Structure 1
């Protein structure tokens, strides 16, 4: 959410816990939602806003296309286990996900996440992920994001893409840190690209990469050191994929 944005607080209209959108093409601009945002209409746009819970586009078996830009998702304090944003058919640009165990959920086709930042947490028993695929589909793009999992203790990975349903996934120019194996891409098909990513050296538990390397267009990835503002201070060396 841009600094200085003036917000209008929305009254929760779904059981006092969520704000539900049912108008196709609705635009939420400069709103503060003190709970979850349920997107139950096609082609909803959210921008310049703050959502204190999760952004969810599933209504039973049906999901709805939406875009969220220049917004903050998550509570100012505490930790919510559920993903900050999901499930499918969405574009997230310049979004800050805070105090969620999972940052982004990809559970279907056409998920695009760019220029975003997730600082993750965990509750006991969580399997925290920056982005996790779960029964996902085609056309996943994860580009130029920063995922910090160092403050979460119950973790899987900043990039956790392991579903057999994955077809075509592009993971480029991200800065990631933390996790068991920090970058995981397995079981996928189609065009798989992992290029230009930066992984903070020695921030993982078990190892930097767990992937089906022969199936991936892997190039230009590196191990780096950073300062407290996520600026790269040095390049340790190339990040290889040997699996």
Structure 2
């Protein structure tokens, strides 16, 4: 086959998500569907599955093709905890996580002020009249945070979540930041794509909360509480 035909066939496989391009001129097959969908140790064990939150993460992943993480926080330990993740089947990501087990531990659980997901929650947990460090003030103003991730060569772009989609809430209660949605991407992604990621996540989170069955129908919340 000539070069044009090879390129055409490779692009066809790329569009079908059979392969991907880690960098220019290189192509790799994606893992088979039999590959586990999660990365062992990345997600903190939880007894409260939230279907709507899973749909939110899947939707962001399908539009960005990047790993998407959901963190909440512990007021007792002052840590951010990863309670859900999708898109972690990426060959390159799994390989690098396998070679950096400490990064898995730190992505799962770290102090709030460690990186973007914790910082974006921390910036919004303080009262509006409370004095903030300059970096937290800027994060609260922009409602998006960007930092290096615990995995070398990757970044975290995070936005706050005021209500977890699918979680029962008290009608009329003041919404507080309870979580952060983050995109974990290679750090060569720079400039406008990062701005687009923040906007995309804001819109997706808002749409998921507004359409959540658990939040939109108080009878459901009452039934769950009972």
Higher RCO (CA-CA < 8 Å; seq separation 6+): 2
Task: Tell me if both proteins adopt one fold, taking TM over 0.5 as the criterion.
Answer: no
TM-score (norm 1): 0.22
- Higher strand content, 1 or 2: 1
TM-score (norm 2): 0.23
